[in-house]
Structure 1
């Protein structure tokens, strides 16, 4: 599906920033304050193709890629960890991962942060190699705690009832830009893996969040006709082990980020590859009761390969790349969305 839609106007980063801070006139309830993006303290270093989680009232980001000083498709694979404490509004450097990884997904269960899989490799030309390592972080250091049943990359990691669900992504042995509906579940209390109902839409590079005990997976892409972005939104009920298709994301996107806050799913950013390619500034809010999306203020700094989470009544957009796919555009940018206030 093409990246443009007739009813939406594409904006550059400068115009997007102006709308987000001064003149946003999107749909706002009577008596409410409009949503607003704000600048937050930057990461300790530039990071893209990253994921994050919340732990002990902090944000944890680990791994990723950092582009070189030019656009020759060379990257450094990172072992960095960064932690954000909203009480002091500061980032600090944490312990390194046992080995460098990018696209390593993070989730928190039983007060421990777990990191799953990801890739190694510093050149898109030579490809990225899957890894099946599982790491755990207890606040002091990362340790290797086992292996995944299969190396699953570019997946969505969500924790419900102290079990971690890895849904969709790229499978080992397939094109790393391919997609699957595979659904693995890890139980840290028993160190066991199980299979759950696969997601209806096979994809990679999606995003997701947990709302009212249900998993939501949004967006992503498939390798159809090159790389095709998807708008699919699907909800998983762990009690019934069943999926429900919901209203699709208005702007299909892959490499995007998302977070749940106050019963609403927020998704933002991503990239497209048709034409010259680029990154999205769109921000969307999904109301599960109405099964409907509303457009929010655009991101001041459009990015893909960024991390997203919610903490302290804010939605965080962390790191990423301000250009599609490649280039010396890895960011240390952090911005926060303050939702509509009554």
Structure 2
């Protein structure tokens, strides 16, 4: 009986490997129109068949650009109401909902990240922003996902609990969050959901079949040089307000990359790492399939980047701009190290139903 079980398990594993190999076969990267204002800490989202890239860490923060894939053209739109970076975003009925982030602090030590509680909606049809009910807590680098008209804003980082710090910096303690705050779009109100098991920020995420997946990210601090990357994957079911057991870990522990969801899979790309032995940005692209609780390794990005904006337009995974090094590579002390690229790479995936 044991030999048969082992044989069955081996056969199942082989089928999964063959399926993953067939899925990635023939995938290739192409280039699209470069981003007009190269930066890092950009976030991407698809709405009405177009890609929107918001945020930015350098000058002119609070960027808002629209990409029309049919015309291969970028158009500058109305900037964010506050020049934030590390915001969380979802799309709902053609509008973009934006939550929190960090801004340059108005007081205190310069160079820090001041978390905010602002929430806004942006209507691409009118190019106008609208204020929403603020989040229950100031935070940045959280994950936001939409299920049945509600937005689940999870994790992120804020200033240390009980401190008088205005902002997070390398010299302060950051408070990594397990919070799960639920925004009801219809009533413009907030409620509390079951918290995550692991406090983290800068994570990847996605929604598949009504369940939310939180992937990787950063623990210990919001700054990469003062934190550690994690490879843990958690699943949340909004219908029961419960978290399931940990799922298969991501192949490459990382944080601060781009991501998107398509045809039941969550795609993660890029990111950064800073350890005693390694400081850099990733090229790795991987796909998580919740149906099989498995990962596929896809062709790597042509150029390593963190703070890269990701979005899916149809079956094409767009990855825009970013920084080719880790923020821990001395960029804070020497701006010549801070190399932002305009590169816009596109990975065409098998059309839905063919993979």
TM-score by length of 1: 0.83
Say if 1:278 and 1:125 are closer, same or farther in 2 by CA, change over 3 A. farther
Match of 2:157 in 1: 170
SS at match of 2:74: strand
Matched, 1:150 2:137: yes
Higher helix share: 2
- More relative contact order in 1 or in 2 (CA 8 Å, sep 6+)? 1
Match of 1:287 in 2: 289
**2: CA distance between counterparts of 1:124 and 1:214?**
40
* Aligned counterparts, 1:222-301, within 5 A: 222-223=219-220, 226-244=226-244, 245-274=246-275, 275=277, 277-301=279-303
* Aligned counterparts, 1:1-342, within 5 A: 28-29=21-22, 33-66=25-58, 76=59, 78-121=61-104, 126-139=111-124, 140-173=127-160, 175=168, 178-223=175-220, 226-244=226-244, 245-274=246-275, 275=277, 277-325=279-327, 326=331, 327-340=337-350
Contact 2:160 2:175 in 1 (8 A): no
Structure 2 unaligned regions, length at least 5: 1-18, 162-167, 332-336
SS at match of 1:185: strand
State the shift of 1:58 in Å. Answer: 1.4
**2: CA distance between counterparts of 1:124 and 1:312?**
44
Contact 2:159 2:175 in 1 (8 A): no
State the shift of 1:210 in Å. Answer: 1.2
SS at match of 2:132: strand
State the shift of 1:145 in Å. Answer: 2.8
Higher strand share: 1
SS at match of 1:153: coil
Bigger CA radius of gyration: 2
State the shift of 1:340 in Å. Answer: 4.7
Say if 1:252 and 1:89 are closer, same or farther in 2 by CA, change over 3 A. same
**2: CA distance between counterparts of 1:124 and 1:254?**
25
Contact 1:33 1:340 in 2 (8 A): no
State the shift of 1:314 in Å. Answer: 0.9
Say if 1:89 and 1:201 are closer, same or farther in 2 by CA, change over 3 A. same
CA RMSD of aligned residues (A): 2.3
State the shift of 1:207 in Å. Answer: 1.0
**2: CA distance between counterparts of 1:184 and 1:253?**
24
Once the two structures are superposed, residues 206-243 of structure 1 have per-residue CA deviations (whole angstroms, 9 ceiling, x without a partner) of 01111111111111011279311000111111111111
**1: CA distance between counterparts of 2:193 and 2:302?**
38
State the shift of 1:125 in Å. Answer: 6.0
* Paired residues, number: 307
